[in-house]
Amino acid sequence: MLKLFLPNEQVKSILEIEPEHLAQKGIKAIITDLDNTLVAWDRPDATPELLEWFNKMRDAGIKVLIVSNNNQTRVSSFSTPLDLPYIFEARKPMGHAFRKAIKLLNVQKSETVMIGDQLLTDVFGGNRSGIHTILVIPIAATDGFWTRINRKIERQLMNFFRRKGMIQWEERQ
């Protein structure tokens, strides 16, 4: 059961994920979290570096879809100017949003990766759905109310995984 909280990969930033690396794994589509994965939870727009990353993925033929537990206003205002499809109020880690995302992307589970900053929502939900998972270090040191609760549980899981040598992890500096 605990292995469902263990990501397949870990990176410091989504910007470190290269399309060539994904293509080698047969990945054709990315499901990504929004807040503290792509941008800080309180930042309204994409950074220039993130825009460049999106363009690299598009140029490589890798589709990107945002799946967020946040509300429609937040997710739409970020995604629409970028012409990115999205699912809001996803209720991750529940499987419905992951199944819907795969259907919208028109890919197989094996061709999909879930990228996010939380073990309890992004990694657990992706793993339960049979999707390759990549955990990123949260962009911001602060979180919204519910995420702060999740982070307390997450820290305990991370400490356990670290002690067992199952994960290498860094906190945001």
DSSP character at residue 60: T
Q: What does the pLDDT read at residue 158?
A: 82
In sequence order, the β-bridge partners of residue 30 are 64, 113
Which listed CATH number (3.40.50.620, 3.90.420.10, 3.40.50.1000, 1.10.3210.10) goes with 2-163? 3.40.50.1000
Question: Domain residue spans in the chain?
Answer: 2-163
φ and ψ of 64, to 5 deg: -130, 135
Residue 36 has what pLDDT? 93
User: Residue 14 in contact with residue 31, Cβ under 8 Å?
Assistant: no
Write down the pLDDT at residue 125.
Answer: 97
Alpha-carbon distance 123 to 110, whole Å?
15
Q: What is d(CA 32, CA 169) in angstroms, rounded to the nearest whole number?
A: 20
Count of other CB atoms within 10 angstroms of residue 147: 19
d(CA 146, CA 69): 11
In whole angstroms, what is the distance from residue 118 CA to residue 3 CA? Answer: 14
> Residues 62-112: pLDDT tens digits?
999 999 999 999 999 999 999 999 999 999 999 999 999 999 999 999 999
State both tokens at 102.
């795969």
What residues of the chain score a pLDDT lower than 70?
Answer: 141-146, 169-173
Instruction: State whether the Cα torsion 114-69-101-65 is positive or negative.
Output: negative
